[in-house]
Structure 1
Amino acid sequence: MKCEEICTDILECGHECCKPCHGSFTSHPPCSAPCPRTCPARGHPCPGKCGSVCPPCMVTLERLLACGHTATLSCFQDIDEVECIKKCDKMLECGHPCKSLCYENCDSECRFYGNIQLSCGHSVTGRCTPKLSCCVPCQKQLACGHPCPDRCGQPCATQCQVMVSASSAENKSLGTLSCPHTPKIPCFLLNNTAQDLNIERSYKCTEKCSAVLLCGHKCCGDCHKCTEQGLHPSCPAACTRRLLCGHRCTAKCGQSCPPCQDKSFFRCPHTKTGAKCGEPPKICKEKCTWRCPHLKCSKKCGSACSRSICPEKCGLKLECGHKCVGICGELCICTECVKLDIKSTQEVYINIGCGCPNANEDIKKHNSTPDVRLFECPLCRQPVQFSNIYKQEYIQCFLNF
């Protein structure tokens, strides 16, 4: 029969065997009592069994590393084999902190980006690098008195390039040009006594030409180019010429005037907008609107009228308080407001739409010349848009144009 009692033999460790009786011919199993041993480093109790090999001590605690930082480590860990993962607290040569980890080698190049104070006293925003230069203009003055054109921190220029008048140059050959202007040369050449013809030729007149062109405008080209080439560039000013149609040219003064793209001046009372300038006018089929209390036209608007100028005077009192000296049924005219000296009380004055008081004979005489142009006012030269009195004359003038 198998013994059911507990073995109470004393083991080598001093504990009693607590396993079922196994007889005297069988060795005792490992002791299962709590291990009474402690870790040799800090005396922490072993968490294993008495009969088992003690495991590495896993108690965690704050340990001081060789770099001076502390880390949470297990008791058994060797601090000489631990890599510190905290940020490096060393300063680089530029004065900024190293951004590597403590166990890593310090940066060979600074990784700082921000506002950096330079040795010149100015500050810049950027990445810290030995090649970082100041972008502020140099505040120093050259020996000639002109400001240094270079940037702060760079060697100042030895030859001032500011263009100055050559009238006081010691080398008199630099002070003459083939044009009326006084040449401008770099400042450093003022005291240059070398008779160098290449230098003389290399610094040409920098003034604008300003010669009066045939059009009346001043030339805006470079003086030395106009002098050398003997030719002025095309005038870039707005064209002041009036086209034959009466509109102003929209091209540049030095260009050929292009075909007019505006609407024609010619239009009758029934037409809201004129045709394209240069196109023949359409013959209006509406009834003619030329009428007054004494006479009335019975023809179509586009045909020759069946009536003539009314022989009666208008005589209406105008808003200015003066009496109209125009013809009955036509646009009113005040000769007193425009201070017109009436030649004769029998003279017929007509307003052809522009407001100018013109004598009938003056209008006919002005528009009977062989000049190629539209029917216009003798005083303001404005093309006539519409007039019942001179309808046929200006239509024929337009067709001839």
Structure 2
Amino acid sequence: MAMEFVACPEACKARLACGHACTRTCHVKSDPDHEMYTCEKPCRKLKKDCSFTAEENNEDHLCKKKCYETCDVCKVEVMKKRQNCIHSQKVPCHVDVNTILCRKNCARLLPCNHHCKKKCHEPCGDCVMLVVKKIPDCNHKVKVPCNKFLDSSMCKAECQRVMSCGHPCQSLCGEPCDPENCNHLMNYADYSPCGHKIALPCKIYQAIRSGDKVDLRVLLKHCKAACKARLECGHECAGTCAACWQGRLHAPCQQRCDKLSICGHVYGTHTTHCCTRARARRAGRAARTRPASSAATSSASADTCTGRTLLTAAHEHVRGVLAGLPARALPAALRQAQHLRTRMQGAV
């Protein structure tokens, strides 16, 4: 009589490699080594590449799949401490924080005792902190970046050296002293051709003492004596002997004009110049001799304004031309300039 196989009703209870117990009944005749068994229980392992080590509060790091399924990579954001600096950074749990460049401010102390101002991943050095340093040659102090080496050419202070001519240098300390370009004023022993005592720059004074010939116009140019000539407007000229070409070509009067205009009002304002108003009065008298009309009045006003501008421009132009002429041509040129100025004043 053949015997039939009867399945054992007892639970298997074998412990699987995942740690769970087998949920089948006794199966000694079917896959007894659990090589084909699939564990359906929830996975309670840490996710793949998880670096979280605490046993508490690790719920977010545990795998949520079933036991037989492949665990996901742990992407929970965690704060990790770097090994090569003092900074920490929040990164996904599976990432090695030391493989990421640290972009926080560097906190290392440099040899100069200043904190590095670069980013943490950059090499330290090149301190740019502004500090006060002494320039070796002159001992003047200057504020420069800490990493900058100083030399005398960087000094922007006033030079305190005395030149070979006996005068203090007027250049910057970082520039070479040049006694041949000294502009310190010195009293000239002789009189200028205009009859006044003058003070000459040291470089011209030394040239005269060494026997060099100096153009007389150079002496006249440095005469600072007051002109004090009485102008046509009645005011005293406020220019200097040199500025007025020794009284031959006066600059326009800059005094305040207090004379009456053709309407009976006083011209005087703080911005009104006497010679400007004198030309305006002449233009007004000329306008009264013409037929009265609004167009003629408007034209006279415009001509007066334009004439004032032209006269000032012509005066400056003549001064520039005269400065470039040789000495023997000056008398004739000055007579022509005076004649031209008189004609322009009459026209304005």
Question: What's the TM-score bracket when you normalise by the shorter of the two chains?
Answer: 0.3 to 0.5
Relative to total residues, which structure has the larger helix share, 1 or 2? 2
The structure that has the greater radius of gyration is 1
